[in-house]
């Protein structure tokens, strides 16, 4: 089993990044390794981190400015070979169709619901770590 899982959290808002970290905590589920976070506030930082590799899952803020998380998700799904799974935080449940358009692997409404976020992220990490990608 992998010793840690790296989760990239993208938002221009420091409070949103903190909410994600606090909601998930150190370990999203007992069958998963502890999580290390890589926080990014800009699109260039996200692209650089993903190109470097070693990211197991991403959480993108759909309301980030100037590059929204859904547009960033669609871009990285096109540009990054073996792109890790992406969870998008959407502003309202009606935006789920936009998350589908972005090719996000999961979507959770903002403000962050710790239970929903934890379950969705744990599911993505299980899939990613099971295939050993």
78 in the Ramachandran plot: left (φ > 0), alpha (ψ -120 to 50) or beta? alpha
Domains delineated in the chain? 5-131 (3.40.50.2300)
Digit-coded pLDDT (tens) for 98-124: 899 999 999 999 888 999 999 999 999
DSSP 117-129: HHHHHHHHHHHHH
pTM of the model: 0.95
Predicted local distance difference test score (pLDDT) of residue 13: 97
CA distance 28 to 42: 25
Query: What CA–CA distances, in Å, run from 6 to 59, 66, 77, 92?
Result: 11, 25, 18, 27
């Amino acid at each position: 089993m992998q010793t840690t899982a790296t989760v990239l959290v993208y938002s221009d808002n420091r409070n949103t990044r903190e909410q994600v970290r606090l909601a998930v905590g150190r370990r999203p589920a007992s069958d998963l390794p502890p999580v290390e976070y890589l926080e990014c506030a800009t699109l260039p930082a996200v692209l650089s981190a993903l190109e470097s590799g070693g990211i197991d899952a991403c959480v993108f803020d759909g309301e980030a400015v100037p590059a929204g998380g859904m547009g960033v998700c669609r871009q990285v799904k096109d540009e990054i070979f073996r792109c890790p799974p992406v969870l998008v935080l959407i502003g309202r449940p009606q935006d789920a169709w936009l998350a589908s358009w972005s090719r996000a692997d999961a979507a959770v409404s903002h403000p962050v619901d710790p239970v929903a976020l934890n379950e969705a992220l744990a599911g993505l990490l299980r899939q990613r770590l099971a295939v050993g990608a």
